[in-house]
Amino acid sequence: MGRSVVQHWLLNLAIEVPCSLGTIFPSVEEEYLNVKKIAGCKPEEYGESLLELFEEGLIILKSDFAGDNVDNKDGVAQIVERFVRLPKDAREVRYASRKVNSDSARKTPERARFEVTKAGGEEWERRAEPDWNHYFDQRGDQSDCEVVSQNRDLVMAVLGWLPELGGGRVDVNSIQIQKLDDYPIFYWKHLPSVFKANFAFNKADPRLSGDGPAWPREPEWFHEWQASTTSWYRKPWEMPEWPSE
């Protein structure tokens, strides 16, 4: 297994989601993480690549477990080894909304996780070649929503299609758009400037009509545009060195 592929996969995972080691070991939870696992990659190989990324200063580890040392190679190696050796049926409690009867089960589980450093983010950029002009972020609730992008046309397009993208009708009288400089989009990444739209919206049915759930009734041209708004960088499995199944 090419070590470069595994390293890129791990960096990309840390960029996309807050990444607990328990979602990789003892096996990759593809559906939960919304990723493709690397065909034939063993837990030991994921572990070796994590340790290498730490030694190279591309990731840091954090741990809720008492006694874990995340500050040096030996301590990180012990943490990684512990997860690599987990039995195949080991699993964390992931879903906070899951109904449980036990008070102990309702507690936030202890986790060990990793994040990219600024150097790790720059290495990910070198490999993934992100198009920052195509990036946008959408967040908030009905009373306080926002869309952020370097691309003002993309902000306006997302606002126009929010009933299909987010299930709400924008209150046009509430929209406020401002240009902000040196804007943080990740904890390690700032963009020189962005357009930020703040607004309120009300729940509304999608304007695209037809029978069945929303996805099948949406036309292909809308699928293609929607996919383009989330394809602002190359996924690891889109790289030429990605192993076949």
pLDDT digits over 91-149, tens only? 654 433 333 344 444 455 678 999 999 999 999 999 999 999 999 898 887 678 899 99
| Ranges of the chain with pLDDT below 50 | 93-106, 212
Residues 19 and 106 in one domain: yes
Beta strands 144-149 and 136-141 are antiparallel
Domain presence at residue 34: yes
Supply the pLDDT for residue 50: 96
Residues 171 and 86 in one domain: no
Supply the pLDDT for residue 97: 32
Q: Find out whether the peptide bond into 26 is cis, omega within 30 degrees of 0.
A: yes
Supply the pLDDT for residue 95: 36
Supply the pLDDT for residue 3: 81
Residues 109 and 157 in one domain: no
Domain presence at residue 138: yes
CA atoms of 72 and 54, how far apart (whole Å): 9
DSSP 56: T
Task: Please answer whether residues 152 and 160 qualify as being in contact, where contact means their C-beta atoms are separated by less than 8 angstroms.
Answer: no
Residues 140 and 223 in one domain: yes
Supply the pLDDT for residue 206: 63
Count structural domains, the chain. Answer: 2
Residues 11 and 121 in one domain: yes
Domain presence at residue 66: yes
Residues 23 and 136 in one domain: no
Task: Please answer whether residues 204 and 167 qualify as being in contact, where contact means their C-beta atoms are separated by less than 8 angstroms.
Answer: yes
CA atoms of 19 and 114, how far apart (whole Å): 6
Residues 29 and 44 in one domain: yes
What is the helix (H) or strand (E) element at residue 193, kind and residue range?
A: strand 189-199
Domain boundary among 128, 161, 192: 128
Domain presence at residue 235: no
Domain presence at residue 237: no
Residues 140 and 179 in one domain: yes
Residues 10 and 122 in one domain: yes
Residues 162 and 117 in one domain: no
Number of Cβ within a 10 Å radius of residue 197: 21
Structural domain harbouring 67: 3-128
CA atoms of 148 and 81, how far apart (whole Å): 40
Residues 124 and 136 in one domain: no
Domain boundary among 128, 157, 178: 128
Supply the pLDDT for residue 142: 67
State how far the alpha carbon of 205 is from the alpha carbons of 53, 83, 208, 209, 232, in Å.
46, 45, 9, 9, 28
Residues 78 and 141 in one domain: no
Query: Cα dihedral sign for 98, 60, 39, 87?
Result: negative
